[in-house]
Structure 1
Amino acid sequence: MSQPYVKLEIENQVGYIEFFHPAHNSLPGNILAELAQTITDAGNNDDIKVIVLKSGGDRTFCAGASFNELININDEATGKVFFSGFANVINAMRKCPKFIIGRVQGKTVGGGVGVASATDYCMATKFAAIKLSELNVGIGPFVVGPAVERKLGLSGMSQIAIDANTFYPAEWAKQQGLFTQVFDTTEALDEAVKTFAENLCNYNPEAMKEMKKIFWQGTEDWDALLAERAAISGRLVLSDFTKKKLESYK
C-alpha cells in the first residue's frame, strides 16, 4: 500500500469504511473530505445496518492531520479550511443515523483521537496509545476537543491536552471510557469487531437510529461550534511560535 485511499466494503450488512495514508495515516484535506462523504453515504445506504470505521496498515490508526499541509498554511482562511477537515468528519459521524463501531489497531494522535472519540462504540488493541499533541506546536485540540471531552470527560481530556508530550496507554483510554475493550492482537480485535457488528445487525434499525439521537443529544450546535474552533486553530497556526516550531520539525 502506497497510495492514499478511502474505501467502503459491505459484508453481511456491515459497512466497513477504511482510510489510509502512507504517512502513518496522517490525513490531508482531500482524504478527510472523502472520508466525511463516505460516512454520510454509508449512513444513507439501506444495504448497511452498522458501520465499522478502520484504517489500513498495522502500526498507526491515525496520526492526525497532514503535516505537509499544516506547514504551508499562510493565511487564516486557509487555516480554517484545513482545521475544518476533522470537524467535517466528526460532524458526519455525529449525524450518521447508524451506529459507528471504531476499530483502533495502533497509536492515534490529535485528530485521530477525535475520530476515535466520535465513534459510538470503540474497540482497540493494547498498542492503541493516544496523544493530543497540538499544544506542542502552539495550537490546541480545539476542533476535536468537544468529541474527546464527550468520551473522556473534561478531566481526562484536559489531562492529555495539557500533557501534550505523552502517549497514554490503551488501558488508560479504556478506563476513561474511550475504548470498550482492549485486545492483545489485531487478529483478536478484528474477530471481536466483526462478531459485534454483525450481531448488531439483528437489532431493529429504527431503535438503533433513535438510540443514536439520544446518545448525541446536546451536540446540535457542533456545526457552528467546530467551525469556530477551526477558526481559532487557523489563527494560532500563523503565530511566530507555531511557525518556528513547525520549521524545527521539518
Structure 2
Amino acid sequence: MIYENIIITKESKTATITINRPESLNALNAKTIKELSYSLDELASDNEIRVIILTGGGEKSFVAGADIKEFSDFNQEKAEELARNGQNILFNKIENLSKPVIAAVNGFALGGGLELAMSCHIRYASENARLGLPEVTLGLIPGYGGTQRLPKLVGKGIANEMIFSAKMINAQKAKEIGLVNEVYPIADLLTQTKELAATIANNSPMAISKAIHATNLSDSDKGFETEIKYFGELFELDDKKEGVSAFIEKRKPNF
C-alpha cells in the first residue's frame, strides 16, 4: 500500500508510525484508519521489528479526534458500522497485537485520538499534551472503546467525570491518574519513547507476546488460567532456554 496519511520509519528493532495530517491536527478519517490497520499488519509480520511506536506529526497534536465531517449525516446503522469497523480493524487490533505498541502522545489527544492512545499498551506524553473525550458536547458518546478502556485505566469515577464533563486534562494530571506512564518535554518525548522501545526489544519477543495476551485478560475470569497455560508453554520454547542459559552463564541473552 502507498501511504498518504502516515509515515513509517524503522530504527534497529523499532518501527515508528507517524500520523501525518497536519492540516487537520492529524484527525482520524477512514483512509487514515485503513492505512494504520494495514501498516500494523505489515509490521506484525516483519521479523526484524519487535516494538512499534505510534505518534503524531508536528508538536501540536497526536490525534485531535475523529474527522467529524465524514460521519455528520450518518444514520444509526451507518454509525454502528463505523464504530464496529474501526474497533475491528484498528483499536482492537492494536490492543491485541503480538508486539508492544507505545503511544508517544505529542499534544492534543481528543476523542478518537485518546481512544487510539488508550488502545496502545503503554503511553508516554509530552508536557503540552491535552487529553479528553469531548463526544457528549456533540450529543454522542465515545465509539472507539472510550467508555470501556478509560475506566480500566483510571477507575470508573474519574472516567465518568472525564466523559460526562468532556473536560480536557493536562499531561501531569494524566500521569497522576494513571492514564499515561511518563511525561517529558516535547523535544525529549520521542527519544525517551525510543529508549523504552529499545529496552523492550532486547527481551524475549515470545514472552512479551504471551504477556500481552495474558494481561489483556486480567479483568476476565480466564486471566489466571491463561497465565498458567502460557507460563508452561514458554518452557518448551527456545527463548526460555536461551534466557535461563544466559542467566546461569552470567551473560546477556540473545533472543
Give the TM-score category using the shorter length: 0.7 to 0.9
2:144 alignment partner in structure 1: 143
Distance 2:40 2:157 in 1: 30
Per-residue displacement from partner, 1:151-173 (whole Å, max 9, x unpaired)?
A: 22222211100011x21111111
Per-residue displacement from partner, 1:79-136 (whole Å, max 9, x unpaired)?
A: 2233335423211102210111110110111111111111111111111111111011
2:96 alignment partner in structure 1: 95
2:215 alignment partner in structure 1: 215
CA contact (8 A) 1:7 1:17 kept: yes
Per-residue displacement from partner, 1:57-96 (whole Å, max 9, x unpaired)?
A: 21011111102112232x3332223333542321110221
**TM-score of the pair, normalised by structure 2:** 0.79
2:18 alignment partner in structure 1: 18
1:61 alignment partner in structure 2: 62
Task: Give the superposition deviation at 1:4.
Answer: 5.1
Distance 1:218 1:40 in 2: 25
Task: Give the superposition deviation at 1:217.
Answer: 1.0
Distance 1:154 1:125 in 2: 25
Q: How many residues are aligned here?
A: 215
CA contact (8 A) 1:6 1:19 kept: yes
1:177 alignment partner in structure 2: 178
Root-mean-square deviation (Å): 1.9
User: Which stretch has the larger CA shift, 83-92 or 172-181?
Assistant: 83-92
**Structure 2 residue identity aligned to 1:162:** F
Counterparts in 2 of 1:181 and 1:110: CA distance versus 1, 3 Å:
same
**Structure 2 residue identity aligned to 1:153:** G
CA contact (8 A) 1:51 1:101 kept: yes
Task: Give the superposition deviation at 1:24.
Answer: 1.1
User: Identity across aligned pairs (percent)?
Assistant: 21
Task: Give the superposition deviation at 1:213.
Answer: 0.9
2:161 alignment partner in structure 1: 159
Instruction: Name stretches of at least 5 consecutive residues in structure 1 with no aligned partner.
Output: 221-250
**Structure 1 residue identity aligned to 2:156:** L
Q: Which has the higher contact order (CA 8 A, sep 6+)?
A: 1
Instruction: Name stretches of at least 5 consecutive residues in structure 2 with no aligned partner.
Output: 221-255
CA contact (8 A) 1:4 1:19 kept: no
Per-residue displacement from partner, 1:220-246 (whole Å, max 9, x unpaired)?
A: 9xxxxxxxxxxxxxxxxxxxxxxxxxx
- Structure number with bigger Rg: 2
Q: Secondary structure at the match of 1:53?
A: strand
**Structure 2 residue identity aligned to 1:152:** V
Task: Give the superposition deviation at 1:202.
Answer: 0.8
CA contact (8 A) 2:125 2:180 kept: yes
CA contact (8 A) 1:17 1:39 kept: no
Q: Return structure 1 stretches of 4+ with deviation > 4 angstroms.
A: none
CA contact (8 A) 1:113 1:148 kept: no
Per-residue displacement from partner, 1:172-221 (whole Å, max 9, x unpaired)?
A: 111111211111x222111111111112111111111111111111689x
CA contact (8 A) 1:5 1:19 kept: yes
